[in-house]
Amino acid sequence: MSYCKQEGKDRIIFVTKEDHETPSNAELIADDPDDPYEEQGLILPSGEINWNCPCLGGMASGPCGSQFKEAFSCFHYSKEEVKGSECIEQFRSMQECMQRYPDLYPQEEDKENSSQAESGSAAADGSGLLSESDSAIEVSPDSMLPTDSQTPS
């Protein structure tokens, strides 16, 4: 059972695991997914890509930002059966750009891009694509904050 004490204006409660096992009756206000003030995830409520998503790291803002945006937009809006299959050109030009900046985009992406090119559907949505590039590209999707990536936005 919990016990508590008061030290001046500060209250201290000690709780056991059992004390906290019963579900909380604290009421939280329901979130509005379309709240314009909130930080948006990768895909905006309108269906557009949020280029400013922290999850993208520096991909959309670096020297190859425009190539990246074109490639990814093409993929995102692709209606082909094999999603993104018509976007080979854009991905190639993105890869060419990235090869010019090896310390920004470490060259592990050869295997990443080949898997993208052949399947064209890295995942049903774009986030799968990004998690691949996330792991391959070390520096660019750097979190400015150590816990950035842990905070779902």
Partner 1 sequence: LNNARTPLCVPVAHMSTGPVGGGGDNLKYALLVGAAFVGGITYAVITIRGDQERHMERMAEISSRKQKSATKQPATQLHAEPHAAESTKMEAPPEPKPVVPPSPEDSSPPAEVTAPGAETASPSESAEPPAADSKPASPTLPSHAPYLLIGGGTASFAAARSIRARDPGAKVLIVTDEADLPYMRPPLSKELWFSDDPSVTETLRFKQWNGKERSIYFQPPSFYIDPEDLNSAENGGVAVLTSRKVVHMDVRGNKVKLDDDTEISYDKCLIATGGVPRNLQVIERAGEEVMKRTTLFRKIEDFKSLDKVSRNMKSITIIGGGFLGSELACALGRRSSESELEVIQMFPEKGNMGKVLPEYLSNWTTENVKKEGVKVITEALVKTVSYKDDKLEIKLKDGRLVKTDHIVAAVGLEPNVDLAKSAGLEVDSDFGGYRVNAELQARSNIWVAGDAACFYDIRLGRRRVEHHDHAVVSGRLAGENMTGASKPYWHQSMFWSDLGPDVGYEAIGIVDSSLPTVGVFAKATAKDTPKAATEESGTGIRSESETEDTASIAVASTTPAPPVEHKDKYGKGVIFYLRDKVVVGIILWNVFNRMPIARKIIKDGEEHADLNEVAKLFNIHED
Q: Which residues bind partner 1 (CB under 8 A)?
A: 1-5, 7-17, 19-20, 22-29, 31, 36-39, 51-52, 54, 56, 58, 60-63, 65-66, 69, 101, 103-104, 138-140, 142, 144-153
Considering the complex, state which of residue 65 and residue 117 has its C-beta at the smaller distance from partner 1: 65
Q: Which of 123, 130, 125, 153 is nearest to 40 (CA)?
A: 153
If one counts every other C-beta atom within 10 angstroms of the C-beta of residue 137, the result is 22
Considering the complex, state which of residue 83 and residue 129 has its C-beta at the smaller distance from partner 1: 129
Minimal distance in Å, beta carbon 26 to partner 1? 4
Q: Which of 62, 58, 109, 68 is nearest to 91 (CA)?
A: 68
Considering the complex, state which of residue 37 and residue 79 has its C-beta at the smaller distance from partner 1: 37
Considering the complex, state which of residue 39 and residue 125 has its C-beta at the smaller distance from partner 1: 39
Q: Tell me the Cα Rg of the chain.
A: 22
For residue 49, give Cα distances in angstroms to 28, 75, 126.
Answer: 29, 11, 9
Q: Which residues pair with 5 in a beta bridge?
A: 12
61's CB contacts (< 8 A; 6+ apart) are 51
